[in-house]
């Protein structure tokens, strides 16, 4: 009888477990079904800028300062104690004033191609996130820095088919280690023209002018009109005289070799459409030229050399928000750009079936040993922008093969890249100089490495390059090149691969941080 009771007890427990399993299964199914249904519902439309995220606000204020450090010319309201007037005679040999603009990196060169990219990205950041910049007092500094570059670009374009694209000789410049305030080396000029065209650099400068014209449209309409006039002329020059500038002028290939001009033509035409509303520019990007250069379905990295991913996201803005005012004849072309932009986003999301493997073990997008932070920061900026396009347009998800992802997923990716840069990495070090308790002390930057009161010439300044002492001046806001694939960093002034900052890196980190300063805000019209 005891044995029978034992069997009956086991049977009872078995039945209870089966019932429990069925109940749990039903609950799980109900939750999953609710979650699946919820994923089809758009998140609420964000409102105006909300609560400030202090770490991003602080980092943005830090990052913005590097533009002041890089300024050339007669400085106005100089905020950097160890900087002064420099390069006041730049452009004199051509009877034009090229004293403004910004030095490219740790040297004293003014390279027009990456400088124009700096301006176009900074403009885009202001146009998308100016309200968030303003919430933490950084809108005016951003506009001032932008104008410092566009003033240079206006003067660098003295006639319709002439654009000065470089000030200084990089070979001579790199034989010196001196302060910009005391340099004596020659400052020769390079230009593109009808005999030596450069569609890439001319179109990038057109994009910078067109985007900046939108930034200043309300605050300085006369200046805005001037910028737009230059943008139209430069685009026509770039389109009518097609050539890669480093083919026309081979010596520029050593530092900023261009891999093509099609991406810049599409990028410039896209900005000109936004600035003018002229459908001819939309026809340009969605027609034969787009089919020839857009590389639909082939995700690429947004950088000073390749603007395709940025163009795809920027054109997605039209299909997200402006379809009513756009001719249906452009619809299929715009959808190609949007699908390509989604492919870029799917490649960035770490759990996506099509996720790129180009990242470190700790999750940082990693593409190149040189200046490795450019691609992750630029990618994160695009992800933030696209996330906010989705939120504002009530688009609940994107599909990456069989899986779907929400705006929050994109924003989380953007935050992960920003957080890595700011110290959430194996070294627990901020790659943004001046932010946090630990950041690079031996930045490859001449002005930062030489005491402001030192009397040094071209050659004798190299003792400061080779010094074992940290930089006497903090290059606040500099985003250094970044880590190797194994998440390591060598803090050495001679390690230009990792330790040299660049002005265009500052543009993308300012864009990213501006997008994260507050909770997502509704996307607004550029005009």
Question: How far is 326 from 324, CA to CA, in rounded Å?
Answer: 6
For residues 482 and 368, what is the distance between their CA atoms, to the nearest angstrom?
10
Any catalytic annotation for residue 274? no
Which of these is catalytic: 108, 157, 230, 444?
444
91: region left, alpha or beta (phi > 0 left; psi from -120 to 50 alpha):
left
Q: Residue 162: CA atoms inside 13 Å, Cβ hemisphere, count?
A: 8
Using alpha carbons, list the distances in angstroms from residue 414 to 105, 298, 376: 25, 21, 9
Work out the number of other CB atoms within 10 angstroms of the CB of residue 123.
Answer: 30
At 110 the three-state DSSP class reads strand
**Residue 198 to residues 97, 163, 281: CA-CA distances in angstroms?**
22, 9, 20
Structure tokens at 481: 């090149």
Q: For residue 428, give the 3-state DSSP assignment.
A: coil
Burial-class residue 337 by CB neighbours within 10 Å (0-12, 13-18, 19+): buried
Q: Shortest CA distance to 189 belongs to which of 94, 107, 257? A: 94
- Tell me the torsion sign for CA atoms 355, 487, 62, 463: negative
Going through 343-478 in order, the beta strands assigned E by DSSP cover 398-400, 403-405
Active site residues: 444
């Amino acid at each position: 009888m005891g044995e029978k009771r034992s069997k009956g007890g086991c049977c009872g427990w078995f039945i209870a477990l089966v019932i429990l399993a069925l109940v749990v299964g039903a609950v799980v199914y109900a939750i999953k079904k609710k979650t699946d249904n919820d994923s089809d519902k758009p998140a609420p439309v964000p409102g105006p800028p909300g609560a400030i995220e202090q770490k991003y606000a602080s980092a943005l204020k830090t990052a913005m300062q590097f533009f002041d450090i890089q300024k050339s010319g007669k400085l106005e309201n100089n905020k950097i104690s160890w900087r002064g007037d420099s390069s006041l005679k730049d452009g004199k040999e051509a009877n034009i004033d090229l004293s403004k603009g910004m030095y490219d990196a740790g040297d004293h060169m003014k390279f027009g191609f990456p400088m124009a990219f700096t301006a176009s990205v900074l403009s885009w950041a202001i146009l998308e996130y100016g309200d968030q910049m303003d919430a933490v007092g950084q809108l005016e500094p951003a506009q001032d820095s932008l104008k410092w570059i566009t003033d240079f670009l206006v003067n660098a374009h003295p006639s319709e088919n002439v654009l000065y694209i470089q000030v200084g000789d990089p070979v001579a410049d790199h034989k010196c280690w001196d302060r910009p305030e005391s340099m004596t080396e020659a400052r020769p000029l390079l230009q593109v023209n009808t005999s030596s065209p450069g569609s890439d650099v001319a179109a990038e400068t057109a994009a910078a002018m067109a985007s900046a014209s939108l930034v200043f449209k309300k605050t300085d309409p006369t200046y805005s009109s001037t910028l737009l006039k230059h943008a139209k002329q430069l685009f026509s020059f770039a389109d009518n005289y097609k050539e890669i500038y480093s083919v026309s002028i081979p010596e520029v290939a050593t530092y900023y070799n261009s891999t093509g001009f099609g991406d810049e033509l599409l990028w410039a035409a896209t900005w000109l459409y936004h600035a003018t509303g002229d459908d001819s520019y939309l026809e340009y990007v969605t027609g034969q030229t787009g089919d020839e250069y857009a590389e639909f379905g082939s995700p690429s990295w947004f950088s000073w050399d390749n603007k395709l991913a940025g163009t795809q996201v920027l054109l997605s803005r039209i299909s997200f928000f402006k379809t009513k005012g756009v001719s249906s004849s452009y619809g299929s072309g715009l959808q190609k750009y949007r699908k390509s932009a989604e492919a870029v986003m799917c490649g960035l999301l770490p759990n996506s079936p099509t996720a790129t493997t180009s990242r470190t073990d700790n999750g940082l997008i990693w593409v190149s040993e040189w200046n490795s932070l450019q691609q992750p920061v630029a990618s994160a900026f695009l992800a933030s922008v696209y996330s906010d396009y989705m939120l504002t347009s009530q688009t609940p998800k994107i599909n990456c093969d069989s899986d779907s992802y929400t705006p929050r997923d994109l924003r989380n990716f953007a935050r992960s890249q920003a957080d890595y840069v700011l110290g959430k990495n194996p070294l627990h070090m901020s790659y943004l100089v001046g932010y946090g308790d630990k950041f690079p002390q031996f930045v490859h930057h001449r002005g930062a490495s030489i005491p402001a009161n030192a009397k040094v010439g071209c050659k004798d300044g190299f003792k400061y390059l080779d010094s074992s002492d940290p930089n006497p001046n903090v290059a606040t806001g500099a985003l250094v090149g970044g880590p190797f694939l194994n998440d390591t960093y060598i803090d050495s002034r001679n390690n230009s691969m990792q330790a040299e900052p660049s002005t265009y890196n500052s543009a993308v980190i300012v864009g990213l941080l501006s997008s994260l300063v507050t909770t997502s805000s509704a996307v607004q019209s550029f005009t």
